[in-house]
Structure 1
Amino acid sequence: MVGGTSPQYQTVQAGSAEPSPLRELIPTFCIAVAAIGFVPILHVASPVLSLTVEILVAIAIVFAVPTYAPAVAIFVLFFQNLFVSTLSPLISVPSDLDFIKGYNFLLCSVMWLTTFGLYVFGRRNRSAEVNRIMCWGVVTLAVVALYFAIGFVQNGQAASVYLRNIVLPLFLFQLSLLTAASYEVRATPFLVTLGVALIICGYVEFAFRDFWLAITNGYTFWGFDELKATHSGVWEAEMRATGNVPVDLKDRFSFDFLNTPLLEGFGLSKILRIHGPNMSAISFGYGIAFFALFLFSVGRPFLALAALPLLIVCSVKGALITLVFVIAAWISTRLLGAVVTLVLGLLGLMVFALVAIRVGLQIGDYHVIGLMGGLNGFLAKPFGRGLGIGGNLSDSYFSIDWSAAQAAGTIDGAVESAIGVLIYQMGIAALVPLGFYFAMALKAWRLYASSGYLTQGLAGFGVMVVLLNGLFQEEALFAPPALGLMLSLTGLVIGSQIRMRAAAGQDAESSSDRSIPRPVTATPARARHA
Structure 2
Amino acid sequence: MSVTGTYPPVGLDASSFEAPRGDALLHVCVSLTLVALTVSAFAVWTPFGIAATFLLTLIVANAMPAGVPVLIICAFLYQNLVVTWYTPYIPDNDTFDALRGTNFVILMTAFCIFLAASFQQRVRALTELRFWLLLSIVLCGTICFYLALGIVHGQPKDAVVYFRNTITPLACFHIAVLAASLYPVDLRKSMFWLGAGAVIYGYVELTFTMDFLSLF
Q: Which TM bucket (shorter chain)? A: 0.7 to 0.9
Mapped to 2, the partners of 1:90 and 1:14 lie a distance apart of 48
Partner of 1:167: 167
Mapped to 1, the partners of 2:107 and 2:151 lie a distance apart of 22
Partner of 2:179: 179
**Cα displacement (A) at 1:137:** 1.5
Partner of 2:8: none
Partner of 2:38: 39
Partner of 1:85: 84
8 Å CA contact 1:43, 1:50 repeated in 2: yes
Q: Would you say 1:200 and 2:188 are equivalent positions?
A: no
8 Å CA contact 1:43, 1:49 repeated in 2: yes
Structure with greater helix share of residues: 2
Task: Indicate the structure whose relative CO is greater, using CA pairs within 8 Å and at least 6 residues apart.
Answer: 2
Q: 1:62 to 1:106 in 2, by over 3 A?
A: same
**Cα displacement (A) at 1:107:** 0.6
Partner of 1:76: 75
Mapped to 2, the partners of 1:32 and 1:79 lie a distance apart of 10
Mapped to 1, the partners of 2:76 and 2:118 lie a distance apart of 24
**Cα displacement (A) at 1:215:** 3.1
1:97-176 superposed matches below 5 A: 97-122=96-121, 124=123, 126-153=125-152, 154-176=154-176
8 Å CA contact 1:75, 1:194 repeated in 2: yes
1:253-402 superposed matches below 5 A: none
8 Å CA contact 2:39, 2:102 repeated in 1: no
Question: If you compute each CA radius of gyration, which structure gives the higher value, 1 or 2?
Answer: 1
Q: Deviations over 1:292-322 (max 9, x none)?
A: xxxxxxxxxxxxxxxxxxxxxxxxxxxxxxx
8 Å CA contact 1:73, 1:108 repeated in 2: yes
Partner of 1:65: 64
**Cα displacement (A) at 1:17:** 5.4
Identity of aligned residues (%): 22
Residue type matched to 2:27 in 1? T
Q: Deviations over 1:308-337 (max 9, x none)?
A: xxxxxxxxxxxxxxxxxxxxxxxxxxxxxx
Q: 1:17 to 1:75 in 2, by over 3 A?
A: closer
Q: 1:150 to 1:50 in 2, by over 3 A?
A: closer
Residue type matched to 2:23 in 1? E
Mapped to 1, the partners of 2:190 and 2:124 lie a distance apart of 24
Q: Deviations over 1:220-243 (max 9, x none)?
A: xxxxxxxxxxxxxxxxxxxxxxxx
**Cα displacement (A) at 1:147:** 2.4
**Cα displacement (A) at 1:64:** 1.1
Partner of 1:15: 16
Q: 1:57 to 1:169 in 2, by over 3 A?
A: same
**Cα displacement (A) at 1:180:** 0.7
Unaligned regions of 5+ residues in structure 1, if any? 1-12, 217-530
Q: Give the TM-score normalised by the residue count of structure 1.
A: 0.36
Q: Give the TM-score normalised by the residue count of structure 2.
A: 0.84
Unaligned regions of 5+ residues in structure 2, if any? 1-13
SS at match of 2:186: coil
